[in-house]
Amino acid sequence: MTMHSARASRKAPKTAPKSAAEPRLSRQRRPLQMAADDWQRALRRQFGREQVFELKNLGDARLAPIFSEFSVGNAASGGRYRVAIRGTAPGDNLCTCLDFATNDLGTCKHIEFTLARLAARRGGAAALAGGFLPPYSEVYLHHAGQRTVRLRPGADCPRAVLEPARQLFDAPAGWVLPWARLGELDDFIAVATKAAASAGHELRVDERALAFVAQVRDAEHRQQVLAQAYPKGAADKGLAKLLKPRLYPYQAEGALFAARAGRVLLGDEMGLGKTVQAIAGAELLARHFGVQRVLVVCPTSLKHQWQREIARFAGRPAQVLQGLRLARQQQYREEAFCRITSYETLVRDLDLVQAWSPELLIVDEAQRVKNWNTVASRALKRVDSAYAFVLTGTPLENRLEELISIVQLVDQHRLGPTWRLLHEHQQVDEAGRVVGYRDLDRIGATLAPILLRRRKAEVLTQLPERVDTTLFVPMTPEQRDHHDENGLIVTRIVSRWRKTGFLSDVDQRRLQCALQNMRMSCNSTWLLDHETDFGHKADELMTLLEELFEQPEAKAVVFSQWLGTHEVLMRRLRARGWDHVLFHGGVPGDKRGALVDRFAGDPGCRLFLSTDAGGVGLNLQHAAATVVNMDLPWNPAKLEQRIGRVHRLGQRRGVQVINMVAQGSIEEGMLGVLAFKKSLFAGVLDGGDSAVFMNGTRLAKFMESVDEVTGAMGTAEEASAAPVAAAQRRRRRRRRSPKSTRP
């Protein structure tokens, strides 16, 4: 850089000057006159121009001050990305960030920041407007819209390169390589590179373009190999004998589907054997495509279960990664076909995982990474593996955005960018609030090549019947006091929200606390004050169990979100002499297996008490056929996870599910919320209704239900505090009474 250019660089503003003609755009609401993709590009342009990133030209700044490759760094986060500037049109430029790779816009905030900084330099805007004609030719991957491989002929591109290029690429369409001719790219590169070198010209080939073509060709190769090896598909005898136990036909189909796709989301309902299908799929990849390094990432409590299942089904040893960092480093140096780690350990060992370079990544209970911004989610997406099997019975629990994070583990381009998914499928009111979803069936069709989801109804002949019963239990006056007192707080906050459309952080915390207290009061006052024990649910359960335990071999699994509920139950169990085990999040991982074994193997152990820590990964179908839910979770997927511990493959008895609901309480209102979430889940994944609507926003709809079940307590913000004070006085009197002590 000359002295003159250095001084000019120092004087250049950090961001481009804002144009008075460009009003500031909202990130929440799209201008009516603007197309969705234009809006998203404009948002990135707006945000990029406001940044103070660090910019460094990675080439020769004297020869290529504008059209070059740059390093863009964020001092605050430590992130650094490589940006190639080739023009101003969407797709001309390149960036190594994830947003650029997945947003289908052909730009990102790093590119827009770089363009703004370059345009602010002397002669920069004119140079960008004039376009880029490089001295070299380039094969690259174009990211605006559907990804395509393209050629950018350089200045003085020799005729020996242009002639074969015109025969392969669609020049009028922008030198696009037709999808059907991706397999011919290697031959063109070989011929064109030699011809360019003979003419003193350079042909550059972007590695991302080659990786894209290789991925497509590998998928075609897998299809051909597996079709020849198993000509009858899932009915082929070779598949049935793939593992030591014989696979059910639908499991063989799942294994073959996973191997064909290479990267797949196994979304079968719980209890259908996703683990065995993943192991069988891994065996197919090992036998036919030479896979030798498999990494299983799962919850801590399931690591040893995976180890046992791999040994049982495939007869292969699997290494469980454990101990301190030094011990794990040594374990990675050892030979192993399969390694098993937890989500938490993966984050700490990401460098070791990347050095080992697993060929197949198996992610169990993948709903844990439904939030793309969690540490575990970001770490998983940095594991570079050719194949990936992602397992979850609940790929969609509450919001469509959750699908993006999970599906990106499989194929970061399959669903397209979040902004487009929401734009096409969310239904909003005039204020921009989400009131429902539309065209959900299209999402299922989009996912079909990589998603395999079967419901229990589809393999019903291999599963027992299930009977669900909702038992409405009346509340005591003491429970009602707690419930309604917190209901007043909820009503006031909701009233304020309806008036202003805004909730402060303090109000949000108070709202969450009050709702939680209302739910806990439905089980027993013990959960709130740890002094009294008023509530009918525990006694009602004892009555049910007395009838159930008349059958000598009968056992039951009882779930509650709160450990306090089980404390209430255990006092009654001890009085009756019923032995039990208690499973919760505080039980060490190495002790959990013993609890399951005792419940399954000890005839005297009649009950398995569990919080939601036992809602995933446990197989209790051989020991029990009754599930009791003392409370309802907000999320219908969690409810199915609980039931799926007993109602799953291998269960030979009819399963009875009993859901206890406090009568006239917030729990009754939750039934409507659960119904909406179930319809959303079914619409996307299970071929249900393609449109789901709500009367108002989610929060408004939910709060209307709360108002109904808490009674006529008023909705005005200035509602009297007298009922609250009266409830508090009654509670204090009962605490002083000997009758109020717990039994």
Query: What torsion, rounded to 10 degrees, do the Cα atoms 390, 391, 393, 395 define?
Result: -20
Q: 654 or 242, which is more confident?
A: 242
Q: φ, ψ for residue 606 (rounded to 5)?
A: -95, -20
The Cα–Cα gap between 640 and 396 comes to 13
For residues 308-330, give the mean pLDDT: 92
563 C-beta neighbours (distance < 10 Å), count: 15
* Residue 629: φ, ψ to 5°: -100, 110
Confidence of residue 21 (pLDDT cuts 50, 70, 90): low
Q: What is the pLDDT of residue 271?
A: 63
* Edge-first strand listing for the sheet containing 451-452: 319-320, 338-342, 294-298, 360-363, 387-391, 263-266, 451-452
Q: Could you give the angle at which helices 401-410 and 418-425 cross, rounded to 10 degrees?
A: 140
pLDDT digits (tens, 9 = 90+) for 57-70: 998 888 889 999 99
Is the confidence at residue 3, as pLDDT, over 70? no
Q: Report the alpha-carbon distance of residue 31 to residue 51 in Å, rounded.
A: 23
Q: Are 274 and 296 in contact (CB under 8 A)?
A: no
What superfamily in CATH does domain 536-662 come from? P-loop containing nucleotide triphosphate hydrolases (3.40.50.300)
Tokens of 584: 């919760």
Percent of the chain surpassing pLDDT 70: 82
pLDDT of 81 higher than 60: yes
Sheet holding 434-437, edge to edge: 426-428, 434-437, 692-693
Paired with 662 in beta bridges are 473
Confidence grade of residue 544 (pLDDT, cut at 50, 70, 90):
confident
Domain with CATH 3.40.50.300 in the chain: 536-662
**Chain centroid, CA 93 distance in Å:** 30
Among residues 238, 236, 248, 311, which one has the least CA distance to residue 279? Answer: 311
Burial of 720: CB neighbours in 10 Å, binned 0-12, 13-18, 19+: exposed
**Which band of pLDDT confidence, cut at 50, 70 and 90, is reported for residue 647?**
confident
- Number of other residues whose CB lies within 10 A of the CB of residue 104: 20
Burial of 49 (0-12, 13-18, 19+ CB in 10 A): buried
**Residue range(s) in the chain whose domain bears CATH number 3.40.50.10810:** 230-423
AA letter at 295? L
CATH number for the segment(s) 230-423 = 3.40.50.10810
Per-residue confidence band for 693, with pLDDT thresholds at 50, 70 and 90: low
What secondary structure does DSSP assign to 136-159, as a single string?
A: SEEEEEE-BSS-EEEEE--TT--H
Segment 546-567, tens digit of pLDDT? 878 877 888 999 999 999 999 9
Give the DSSP H or E segment for 580: strand 579-583
Question: Structure tokens of 236?
Answer: 């082929």
Query: Could you report the per-residue pLDDT of 486-535, keeping only the tens digit for each?
Result: 989 988 888 887 787 676 778 878 888 998 999 999 999 999 999 999 99
pTM of the model: 0.66
